[in-house]
Structure 1
Amino acid sequence: MQCRRRLAPLLRAPPPKTLLPRLLSRLVSSSSPSSPPPSSGGGDEAGDGSVAGVAVKQVTRGNLAEALEELRARVRDAAFVGIDLEMSGVTSAPWRDTFELDRADVRYLKLRDSAKRFAVLQLGVCPFRWDPAKSAFVAHPHNFFIFPRKELPYDSSSHEFLCQTTSLDFLAKHQFDFNTCFHEGISYLSRAQEEEALQKLNVLHHDGLSAFPNTSKQEEDVQLKSTADLLFSERMKIRFNEWRDAISTNPRVDNHKLGSNKFTTNQFQTVFFKMRPAIMLDGFTSHQLKLIQQVLRKNFRDLMYVSTFGEDETSEKRVVYTDNNEDSILLMKDVQEDLLRSRKVKVESAIGIRHVIDLIASERKLIVGHSCFLDIAQVYSKFIGPLPSSIKDFALAINRIFPHVVDTRHLMSASDAVQHLMRQKSKALSSAFSLLCPAFHSTAGEASIPAPVRIEVEADETMLSCFASGAKHEAGYDAFMTGCVFAQLCAHIGVKFEDFTPKENLEMNKKLKKYINLLPPSFNSGTVLDLRTGMERPDACYKLRYPAAVHDNIVLIWGFQSGLSAKDIKGCICKVFGPASVTTVFSIDSTAVLIQFSKQESVNDFLDLKATLEKQDSAISVLHPLSTILEGGQTRAANYDTYRDICSSSVTKYFFADQANAVCSASDTELRGENVDASDAPGTNSVLDETARTLVKQAEGTQHSSKKQDATDISCQDILDVLQDGKTLFGKQTRRT
């Protein structure tokens, strides 16, 4: 019985603090495919499986400092770091999507527009450390909530960003916590914003020092318009005079005497400031404070009005006694130095989430992302500064900050072994994760492959309240999935982690090195960008859906009738230029198309012919096959460089035709690159006149040969044949000129 009593408290005692995280770590570890961890019940989209519970650390502005300190050690020991972002949107208009026909500079302009306009709502960071004793990677996923807000009181700028409804709806369907994001999200300053803020502080500090002791000469006097102002000013003058006399006649006055009832009231509290006697002013209106400053300027050379800010940002007003003019100057310098230091502390605090980016950059670790070009652009735009104007400058700038970056989507395509493994599989992150990491993501009804690399998730033993079970499309969990997929892909291309030591640099591995710093700008670009050189090269594994783009052969057409399809436009052009004249027709949206001709000279021929037809008011303009495209009088056309200029504009309209008209509205003539206006081309009108005369002659000949038949019975084919002859003659004469 006594033994049972002694054991009872032990049986009721809670488990040690270190036991729960160890159990959690074991539950989420991928020890073997045959014994997967219990499912958390979180469903994958489209019902394709469930995700096992993974502890992801949730970081807000309330626990950023502690999380940052812990993350610093995790990143330092990591072999690589997975990253992911969740954003408020991707494209501001459908035509700002990247297309296969986009040139590299146009594609970059679209991505830069997205990074500039949309906000980052979450940043996922997951360091992966190789543990030789366990022969496994140990992951530490972190999910940072981000919300840009005004942190500096003297900064007049404010954050503005777009929200794409489809993106927000997508996040909401995956239980994104908008309340935590907006209320507790961590703000930030980019490196450029920090530098600008510090420059402003230095200017304010310099102006504050230079303004003294000439402030009294620059201040405008307050007009004493009322009896109350006169009485108040006189009363303040008497009060300050009595207080100063008490100080000057007794230089050894102590704090007890200064705090006597004679000089201390609710509005006058006698204190010491910078080792000098002072009066704390409290309860005065802004107008009364101006009157007090005027009284001091005009009557007291040894009393200084000093305004500072307390720890809670409340303004504190004091009148400080100084021995002489030199002491006054020294006091103001001290005040300005304190103000500068406190403001610099606020700037340092306002850096916020950028401390995480600076940490990753300083450690120069291998960064792993999935389809991460836009993520990297967002990181640069939000935390470094405005994006460079060219894609080459952007690539080189990223390489200086993050010297080792790898994209798992590109890694899936680059290796024959992985391509065989991923055959007929989607390259989306969740699909790759379910296939390559079955211990974390079991897919119902579909066979998965054993994971060759073991991965464990380790939770912080002291702050379990900050952890939550990760879910797909949460940045922290997606960063974890990205790292898991990367580890498995490395094993499939021949990287042997069992020979890897924590001191080795994974990015120097011979099997992996050739895939690093090669990023596809978009999933349909058909190219990879080398961050080391800033040059793009074709992606041999990408299968083009359209013939290879020759951008000098492309014409942009917009503003045609709403019922006209891309196929209809191609048919009209082929009737004039021949059936093989057009190699590609691509719909930008319902209001614009890109037409690629087989010959470069056809671009100028088309633009000149269009301009001439629009200026002619004759039968040829009505009967010409291009009249279908030109119907309505709003159709415009230009070369590919104009398309680039339209995409580079800061203006954003939903429909491309509206965008193009807004950008081109400043010009009275169509933007056609270096093309000569058709009306100025020698012989153009004569060619069309000749075509019209030929048409009339053929009509007359037909009427003469069949007098009983009306002239209007000329077949459509006859008209088209004559128009084709006119087009051929027009082309020859244009080239001769």
Structure 2
Amino acid sequence: MVNVTKSNFLEQLEDFLQHLPSASYIALDEEMTGISLPGSRNQRPNKIELPGERYTRLLKAVPERYSILQVGLALFHKNPRYKNPCRPRSGSTSSNRSGGGHHADADDEHGYIHREGVLNQDELEDLVEREEEAADEAEGLLGDDEPASAEPEYTSRVYNFYLFPASSTREMTLSPSTIQFLLGNNMDFNKVFAEGVSYTTVDQAEAMMEKHFEKYGRKEDEKAKEASHTPSKRGGVKLSRVEDIAFCARVIAGLREWIDSDIQPGAYPNPAGAVTAGLVHENRDADEGTAVVLPPCNAFLRRALYESIQGEYPSLILERADQGQNAGPRSNQIRVMRLSPEEKERRDTRLRREAWEKILGDVGFTILFQAISDACNGKVFSKEQTKSFLNGTSPDISVDGKGSNKIPLIIHNGLMDLMFLITHCHDPTLPESFEETKATIRSYFPRIVDTKILAGEYSDSIIKGGKSDLGSLFNVITSEREMSWITFKAPTISNGESSQQAHEAAYDAYMTGCVFNGLCDRILYQENGLSGSLTLDKLLHDSTDDAVRRLVGLNKLYMHVSLYTIDLESKDGPVSGVHDPLSSGLSVDTTFHVSGIDTNVSTRDILGALLIGGNGYDFAQGLRYEIIWVDDTSFFVGTRSEADITLNDASTISLLASHVRNNLHAKLGNVEILSLRNYFVQVRCMKNDSEDKNSPQHGLVGSIVSAATLPFAIVGHVLGFGKRTHDTTASEGPAHKRRRTS
């Protein structure tokens, strides 16, 4: 794990770009200066509001206001020394498995194979060895008693980027509570402010690079013209004052003596005439000729000297003395350099490299942002292309190409991380529409997996109580006892050492990648049985996006305290006009609205009624319920399965609906129970009946957006969502204390 600041940015940029193309997946995490708006802590998230409404009300302004302090990036590579593990077989144990360590392994540093370009001999041998092992396994040549690999399946390279826009006009706003939290977790703010890497938008970065190449393209054209044409003598500055004429004559005379003297590079004598004229010989690198600095003078005389020297000695190089080698506070002086053609070429190369490196430093982290986006979009990288970009001979990190893998980006509860990236590297202002923001995110990163969703909706709960925070998941994934169902070893870190510091962006990114690896192993084991035919690498790079989406929730993001899962692909959610699906496996057919209950009924009463089997519905023992109170007389009950029961066929849904109705009627009496789908139908009917009675500015339906575009806005008014406040001070009413699941 490497901390990246502006002092080692170029070195680590090269390292990152060299290892990016061969990565199986990329994990990302961030630390910011704030994560909530002032006063928003008193506005508790409304679980039933639409994601677009939450975005406008609470989310959009946060990444526009605050800044990123750290970005953690972890590249995960398939380990070429990894042996195909023996999946648990009958009678086998996990005694041969290694623990979940994640320490540095210096031998892993170059243990990867480029998906593009020519393989060297070592890489070729690794590839052949892996293919032979795969063939042996396919033919059943690996014995049942062969031990699992002592190597992890993946290795990782982890980078911790400190960000600070020193040259930007963007202000940095700090949230006191967030800063206190980060200080408590050892955030080095001195490193952020003094050594942070810069960033800019992609458009600004492209403009800076384009200007650079235009400038040096013009210089090449000018050099070609100079080689084929005799410089024309143009009228220039006319000196009239005696003292000015004498000054320039004295300087030119001293310059002639310096030119005529036989001074070798690396030797520093000053000819007597040059000393008299006030010329000072400079110590320079031996491979860049000799130079003198002319005496100080005003701008008018400097221009006169420029014209005189360039006209009489066009082969000399002139520049301001506060530039280049030995630069100092000498803006009123001229440096004159005498170089051979070879020395001039070396100087031009150095100046161009330094100018390009300055641009790379100014663009900073945005280069990483664009490179990751290119890799995620399947663009082609090569060693030659990377070298050309870093040397400043090409403005492109990658090139368009077909057949290249689209590397997935892995996050944990990372919707806000993605929006921060957009405000920092795309546009400081997010789109007004949440759908536009989702489209922007997907244009940069078309394949995203959120391990928060992966843990909660696509894999069985592996932690008692269903915890899905990153630290808890990581501890379980790397636990020998908890993961006894499969051989798993956490990826090693092959660059630097692990800090094991939670809430450091790099280590959190590493944990995110490990959790993804471990959860996917569990899912694939359940999918494959004992065959192990579908590996994680095959899933990510050889399977269709539909398969990845089905197994690990591709492009579905977690939204905190919400009925919804953010879907970057879906244009239609559970009903027309809602763009995101319900979360946690809930659906409009298995979520019910219950109204007309007695105010003394509690969540415990409701769950007690629902958890009773009998009535021919014994399958109900494998269900989990979520109670979401609307007010003191109505609530939602969401249902999802934790057993081998699917809730998407008509017969099971009918049984479930009967179970919910019968049990709740038995406990609560004559209450109204509607599936969410039927409730939407009822709301639309109410809208149609009232359209002729309400103008667009008046009435229940006329005062809100149409049901076709924001149906839950209408549902909210009809169900009384607006009747209760959601701030932390709202303590009246028994419903305030009755929200929980079972």
TM range (shorter): 0.5 to 0.7
Q: Does the 8 A contact of 2:548 with 2:554 survive in 1?
A: no
Q: Give the alignment of 1:490-639 within 5 angstroms.
A: 490-495=520-525, 498-499=532-533, 504-506=538-540, 508-509=542-543, 512-514=548-550, 515-520=552-557, 522-532=559-569, 536-541=579-584
2:280 aligned with 1:269: yes
Relative to structure 1, is the Cα distance of residues 57 and 453 closer, same or farther in structure 2, using a 3 angstrom cutoff?
A: farther
Deviation at 1:467, TM superposition (A): 2.8
Q: CA separation in 1, counterparts of 2:509 and 2:327?
A: 38
TM normalised by structure 2 equals: 0.52
Q: Which has the larger radius of gyration?
A: 1
Change beyond 3 A, Cα 1:106–1:498: same
**How much has 1:85 moved relative to structure 2?**
0.9
Q: CA deviation at 1:369?
A: 0.8
CA shift for structure 1 position 414: 2.4
Structure 1 residue identity aligned to 2:470: L
SS of aligned partner of 2:71 = strand
Within the alignment, does 1:454 sit opposite 2:488 as a pair? Answer: yes
- Mapped to 2, the partners of 1:368 and 1:181 lie a distance apart of 25
Alpha carbons 1:437, 1:451 under 8 Å: kept: no
1:540-566 CA-to-partner distances (Å, cap 9, x unmatched) read 527799999xxxxxxxxxxxxxxxxx9
Aligned to 2:191: 180
RMSD across aligned positions (CA): 5.3
Match of 1:163 in 2: 174
Question: Structure 2 counterpart of 1:513, which letter?
Answer: R
In the alignment, which residue of structure 1 is the partner of 2:4?
59
Alpha-carbon shift at residue 318 of structure 1 (Å): 3.3
Q: 1:291 aligns to what?
A: 301
Contact 2:571–2:580 (CA<8 Å) still a contact in 1? no
Q: Distance in 1 between matches of 2:25 and 2:17?
A: 13
- 1:119-168 Cα offsets, whole Å, 9 max, x none, are 211122223344334473334352413222336xxxxx433222111111
Note if contact 1:303-1:321 (Cα within 8 Å) is conserved in structure 2: no
In 2, the alpha carbon distance for the partners of 1:603 and 1:83 equals 53
Quote the Cα distance in structure 2 between the aligned partners of 1:73 and 1:192.
24
**Aligned mate of 2:369, from 332, 357, 368:** 357
Separation of aligned partners in 1, 2:351 and 2:540: 47
Which residue does 2:64 correspond to in 1? 116
The answer for the alignment partner of 2:514 in structure 1 is 484
**How far does residue 90 in structure 1 lie from its aligned partner after superposition?**
1.5
1:306 and 2:319 aligned: yes
For residue 389 of structure 2, what is the aligned residue in structure 1? none
Partners of 1:346 and 1:468 in 2: CA distance:
31
> C-alpha separation between the residues in 2 aligned to 1:77 and 1:345?
25
Q: Give 2:164's match in structure 1, choosing from 148, 163, 174.
A: 148
**1:406 aligned partner:** 449
Instruction: Give 1:237 shift.
Output: 1.8
1:251-290 CA distance string (max 9 Å, x none)? 9998889941211369413589999999633663xx6354
Structure 2: runs of 5+ lacking an equivalent: 84-148, 376-405, 573-578, 594-629, 632-685, 710-742
Identify if the C-alpha distance between structure 1 residues 503 and 288 changes in structure 2 by more than 3 Å, giving closer, same or farther.
same
Select 1:380's aligned residue among 407, 410, 422: 422
Q: Relative to structure 2, which stretch is displaced further, 198-207 or 183-192? A: 198-207
Identical counterparts, % of pairs: 18
Within the candidate set 421, 424, 433, 2:474 is matched to 433
In structure 1, give the amino acid aligned to 2:303: Q
Aligned mates of 2:536, 2:74 — CA distance in 1: 17
Q: Which runs of 5+ in 1 are unaligned?
A: 1-55, 152-156, 225-229, 323-330, 440-446, 549-565, 568-597, 611-636, 645-737
CA–CA separation in structure 2 for the residues paired with 1:60 and 1:217: 50
Q: 1:241 and 1:435, CA in 2 relative to 1: closer, same or farther beyond 3 A? A: closer
Distance 1:144 1:163 in 2: 20
Q: Could you tell me how far apart the structure 1 residues matched to 2:44 and 2:301 are?
A: 61
Deviations 1:504-549 (A, max 9, x none): 352555764324433336223433344346663222527799999x
Within 2, Cα distance between the matches of 1:386 and 1:544? 36
Paired residues for 1:81-96 under 5 Å: 81-95=26-40
For 2:302 and 2:193, locate their aligned partners in 1 and report how far apart those are by CA, in whole Å. 43
Q: Distance in 2 between matches of 1:265 and 1:427?
A: 80
1:293 to 1:273, Cα distance in 2 relative to 1, 3 A: farther
Name the CA distance, whole Å, in 1 between partners of 2:150 and 2:355: 48
Secondary structure at the aligned position of 1:538 is classed as coil
The whole-number CA distance in structure 2 between the counterparts of 1:474 and 1:302 is 62
Secondary structure of the 2:191 match is: helix
Letter in 1 for 2:274: F
**Closer, same or farther: CA 102–604 of 1 in aligned 2, 3 Å:** farther
Residue 73 of structure 1: how far off its partner (Å): 5.7
> What SS class does the counterpart of residue 418 from structure 1 fall into?
coil
Post-superposition CA distance 1:78-126 (Å, at most 9, x none): 4322221111111233449864465444444454432232221112222
CA contact (8 A) 1:139 1:480 kept: no
Instruction: Name which of 233, 240, 247 aligns with 2:251.
Output: 240
Amino acid at match of 1:176: M
- Residue of structure 2 equivalent to 1:677: none
**Given that residues 75 and 157 in structure 2 are in contact (C-alpha distance below 8 angstroms), is that contact kept between their aligned partners in structure 1?**
yes
1:345 equivalent in alignment to 2:357? yes
Amino acid at match of 1:526: L
User: Aligned AA for 1:318?
Assistant: I
The C-alpha deviation readout for 1:473-492, integer Å capped at 9, x for no partner, is 11122112222222232233
Q: Which of 393, 412, 416 pairs up with 1:370?
A: 412
SS in structure 2 of the partner of residue 264 of structure 1: helix
Q: Does 1:128 align with 2:76?
A: yes
Query: SS state of the match for residue 28, structure 2?
Result: strand
Checking the alignment, whether the CA contact within 8 Å between 2:31 and 2:69 is kept in structure 1 is yes
- Aligned to 2:30, the other structure's residue is in SS state strand
Please tell me whether the aligned partners of residues 453 and 553 of structure 2 are also in contact (alpha carbons under 8 angstroms).
no
Tell me the distance in 1 between the aligned counterparts of 2:692 and 2:491.
61
More helix by share: 1
Change (3 A) 1:243 1:458: same
Counterparts in 2 of 1:289 and 1:467: CA distance versus 1, 3 Å: farther
Q: TM-score if structure 1 supplies the norm length?
A: 0.53
Q: Offset at 1:77?
A: 4.4
On the 8 A contact 2:565/2:583 being kept in 1, the answer is no
Contact 2:2-2:158 within 8 A present in 1 as well = yes
Paired amino acid for 2:312? D
Matching residue's letter, 1:373:
L
Cα offsets for 1:643-691 (capped at 9, x unmatched): x9xxxxxxxxxxxxxxxxxxxxxxxxxxxxxxxxxxxxxxxxxxxxxxx
| 1:332-377 per-position Cα deviation (integer Å, ceiling 9, x unaligned) | 9999998666433311233333444344344432221111111122
Q: Which moved more, 1:423-432 or 1:69-78?
A: 69-78
Deviations 1:603-624 (A, max 9, x none): 97897699xxxxxxxxxxxxxx
Q: What is the CA–CA distance in structure 2 between the aligned matches of 1:260 and 1:203, rounded to whole Å?
A: 40
Change in 2 beyond 3 A, CA 1:247/1:189: same
Q: 1:340 to 1:63 in 2, by over 3 A?
A: closer
Aligned equivalents of 1:266, 1:117: Cα separation in 2: 58
**TM-aligned CA distance change 1:403 to 1:251, over 3 Å:** same
CA contact (8 A) 2:248 2:305 kept: yes
